[in-house]
C-alpha cells in the first residue's frame, strides 16, 4: 500500500472544518488592520533562501528540499553536492562545507530550486520585483504550505502550513516605527482571543542591529570559551560558528551554564534600546500582556531589533504557536535599491489548530436533513426539494428511490442527520411532508413553505 510520505499528512474532516474556520477568522481580523493577501510560488531559487534566511541556519544548511532543475544543462558539482546532502552518515560540519560548495555552484547557474521553507523571503522578493512599495502595498498576508526536512514529531511536520503577515515599506512610510511592531503584536493577541485560544504567552526580546549582534556575538564567544567543553555537542559547535544559537539550546544539563551568560540587552545601542522600550510601552498601554525573554533568539538570520514568539502550554516540546520579528536590511540584501524596513510573523497553522482542538474540540458538520425518496419516480421530486432547501441554506443529504425505508433511516443515522424527511407520492401531491426528529423520535407533518424554517430552528 502506498502511504503519505513521512512528515506529511492528510487533513481530513471534521478537522478541515476547523482549518476553514481558523482561516476565515484570520481573513476577517487581518482585513480590519488593512492587510491584503499575497500568494507567492511554492518553489523559488535556492539563492533566495540562502541569502535571505542565512547559509549558517539549520533551515538552509540541513532542512531544505532542493533539487537541480537541469533544463538540459547538467551540473556535476551541483549534483555531487545534492548527493552529499542526502548522506546522513557524514558529520554536520562536512555537510555544511558541501552546502557552501553547492551554494557557490548555484550562484554560477541559477538552476537550483528549493521548496519554500518559509514565506518571508518570497514576499520580500515579490515586494521588490513588483515595486509594491510604489503602489502602497505594504501590508501583506499569506496562508500556505511550507517545507522543512526536520525530524517529524508531535506538532512538527515536513509539510506544514503557515499563516503569516509582513509590514514592509520605505522608511518614509513609517515601517521602521516601533508603533508597527506593537500594532502587529496587538493584532496577534486579538486574533488568538477571537479564536478562543486560551493561555497564550507572548515572549519578547530585542536582538538589536547587526552591529549590536556582532558585538554581542564576540562577548558570547569569549564567555563560552571556558565553559563550552561542559556543554552538549551542538553548543560546542555553535560556540564557534554561531554563539547566539547557544541561547536556544534545550538540553537540561546546559541550562545552568546558559543562565550565567551575558544578556544581549546590555549590548544594544541607544537607538535599539529606545525602539524596544517604545514597543513595550505601547503594548502596556493597549493591555497586551508579554514577558521579556532575554534568551529569545530566532532561527533565521534576518532578524533585527524586535523578536517574538507566542507559546502555548498544550503543544508540548514544539510549543511555539508562532514566531516573528523585525528584519530591517533584508530587502537590501535581496537586491532592493532602496531600504525597506519590515516586520512580520508566521503562525504554525498545524499548531494553532492543535491548540484550538485543546480548547474547543472538533465540531463535525452534521446535515440538517436526510431526504428519503420513497418509490419509483421520487428521485426527481427529491432533487427539486433538495435544491429549494439548499438555496435556503439548509444542509441536505439525498437518498435514492431504490432504498427501502429501513436503509434510509440507517443511512441518515450514520451521517448524523438531525431530521429525516419522507418523500412519497402522497407527500409530493399534497406538498406536506412527514419530518422525523432522529434524536427525539418526534414526527410531524409540515407544509412545503414552512420546511426550511422548521429544519433551521431545530425544534
Per CB under 6 A, residues contacting ligand HAM are 118-120, 148, 150, 155-157, 160, 162, 164, 166, 299-300, 320-325, 327, 344-346, 348, 350-351
H or E segment to which residue 316 belongs: none
- Per the DSSP assignment, residues forming a β-bridge with 163 are 143, 347
From the CB of residue 377, how many other CB atoms can be counted at a distance below 10 Å?
10
Concatenating the DSSP letter of every residue in 2-52 gives --PPTT-----TTHHHHHHHHHHHHHHHHHHTT-EE----SEEEHHHHHHH
Smallest gap from residue 321 Cβ to ligand HAM (A): 6
**For residues 105 and 78, what is the distance between their CA atoms, to the nearest angstrom?**
6
Give min distance, CB of 349 to ligand HAM, in A.
8
Q: What angle do CA 124, 26, 367 make, to 5 degrees?
A: 140
Q: Distance between CA atoms of 289 and 310, rounded to whole angstroms?
A: 11
DSSP letter (8 states) at residue 153 = B
- Comparison of 322 and 420: residue with beta carbon closer to ligand HAM: 322
List strand residue ranges (DSSP E) for 27-178, in order: 36-37, 43-45, 66-68, 112-115, 139-147, 159-168
The residue (of 8 and 80) whose beta carbon lies closer to ligand HAM is 8
Minimal distance, residue 26 CB to ligand HAM, in Å: 14
Shortest approach of ligand HAM to residue 183 CB, angstroms?
14
- Tell me which DSSP letter residue 174 carries: T
Instruction: Kindly state the helix (H) or strand (E) to which residue 273 belongs, with its residue range.
Output: helix 270-286
Name the closest residue to ligand HAM (Cβ): 348
Of the pair 195, 371, the CB lying nearest ligand HAM is at 195
Q: Compute the distance between CA of residue 252 and CA of residue 249 in angstroms, rounded to an integer.
A: 9
* Complex with ligand HAM: residue 181 or 350, whichever CB lies closer: 350
Closer Cβ to ligand HAM, 358 or 401, answer by number: 358
Q: For ligand HAM, which is the closer residue by CB, 216 or 308?
A: 308
Nearest CA to 164 out of 150, 146, 137, 182 is that of 146
Q: Which three-class secondary structure state does DSSP give residue 206?
A: strand
Radius of gyration from C-alpha coordinates of the chain = 28
* 3-state DSSP assignment of residue 72: coil
What is the per-residue burial (b if ≥16 Cβ within 10 Å, else e) of 228-254? beebbebbebbbeebbbbbbbbeeeeb
- Residue (329 or 344) nearer to ligand HAM, CB: 344
Shortest distance in whole angstroms from residue 4 CB to ligand HAM: 15
CB of 123 to ligand HAM, least distance (A): 8
Of the two residues 42 and 73, which places its CB atom closer to ligand HAM in the complex? 42
Least distance between ligand HAM and beta carbon 159 (Å): 8
Q: How far is the CB of 450 from ligand HAM (least distance, A)?
A: 49
Amino acid at each position: 500500500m502506498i502511504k503519505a510520505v513521512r512528515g506529511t499528512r492528510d487533513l481530513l474532516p471534521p478537522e478541515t472544518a476547523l482549518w476553514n474556520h481558523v482561516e476565515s477568522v484570520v481573513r476577517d481580523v487581518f482585513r480590519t488592520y488593512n492587510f491584503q493577501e499575497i500568494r507567492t510560488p511554492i518553489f523559488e531559487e535556492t539563492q533566495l533562501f540562502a541569502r535571505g534566511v542565512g547559509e549558517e541556519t539549520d533551515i538552509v544548511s540541513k532542512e531544505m528540499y532542493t533539487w537541480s532543475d537541469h533544463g538540459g544543462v547538467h551540473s556535476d558539482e551541483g549534483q555531487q553536492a545534492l548527493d552529499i546532502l542526502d548522506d546522513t552518515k557524514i558529520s554536520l560540519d562536512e555537510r555544511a562545507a558541501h552546502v557552501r560548495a553547492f551554494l557557490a555552484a548555484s550562484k554560477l547557474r541559477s538552476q537550483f530550486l528549493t521548496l519554500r521553507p518559509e514565506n518571508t523571503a518570497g514576499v520580500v522578493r515579490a515586494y521588490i520585483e513588483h515595486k509594491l512599495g510604489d503602489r502602497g502595498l505594504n501590508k501583506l498576508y499569506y496562508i500556505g504550505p511550507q517545507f522543512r526536512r526536520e525530524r517529524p514529531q508531535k506538532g512538527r511536520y515536513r509539510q506544514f502550513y503557515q499563516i503569516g503577515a509582513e509590514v514592509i515599506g520605505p522608511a518614509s512610510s513609517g515601517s521602521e516605527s516601533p508603533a508597527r511592531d506593537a500594532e502587529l503584536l496587538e493584532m496577534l493577541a486579538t486574533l488568538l482571543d477571537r479564536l478562543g485560544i486560551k493561555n497564550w504567552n507572548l515572549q519578547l526580546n530585542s536582538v538589536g542591529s547587526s552591529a549590536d549582534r556582532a558585538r554581542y556575538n564576540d562577548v558570547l564567544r569569549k564567555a563560552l570559551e571556558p565553559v563550552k567543553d561542559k556543554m552538549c555537542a551542538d553548543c560546542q559547535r555553535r560556540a564557534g560558528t554561531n554563539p547566539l544559537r547557544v541561547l536556544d539550546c534545550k538540553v537540561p544539563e546546559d541550562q545552568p551554564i546558559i543562565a550565567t551568560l551575558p544578556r544581549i540587552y546590555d549590548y544594544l545601542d541607544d537607538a535599539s534600546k529606545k525602539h524596544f522600550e517604545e514597543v513595550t510601552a505601547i503594548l502596556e498601554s493597549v493591555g497586551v500582556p508579554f514577558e521579556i525573554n532575554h534568551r529569545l533568539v530566532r532561527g533565521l538570520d534576518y532578524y533585527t531589533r524586535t523578536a517574538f514568539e507566542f507559546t502555548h502550554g498544550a503543544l508540548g516540546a514544539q510549543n511555539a504557536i508562532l514566531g516573528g520579528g523585525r528584519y530591517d536590511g533584508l530587502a537590501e540584501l535581496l537586491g532592493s535599491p532602496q531600504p525597506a524596513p519590515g516586520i512580520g510573523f508566521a503562525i504554525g497553522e498545524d499548531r494553532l489548530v492543535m491548540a484550538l482542538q485543546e480548547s474547543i474540540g472538533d465540531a463535525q458538520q452534521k446535515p440538517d436533513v436526510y431526504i428519503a425518496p420513497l418509490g419509483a419516480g421520487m428521485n426527481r421530486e427529491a432533487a427539486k426539494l433538495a435544491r429549494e432547501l439548499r438555496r435556503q441554506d439548509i444542509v441536505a443529504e439525498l437518498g435514492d428511490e431504490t432504498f427501502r425505508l429501513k436503509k434510509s433511516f440507517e443511512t441518515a443515522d450514520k451521517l448524523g442527520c438531525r431530521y429525516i424527511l419522507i418523500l412519497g407520492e402522497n407527500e409530493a401531491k399534497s406538498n406536506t411532508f412527514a419530518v422525523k426528529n432522529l434524536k427525539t423520535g418526534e414526527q410531524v407533518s409540515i407544509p412545503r413553505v414552512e420546511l426550511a424554517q422548521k429544519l433551521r430552528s431545530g425544534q
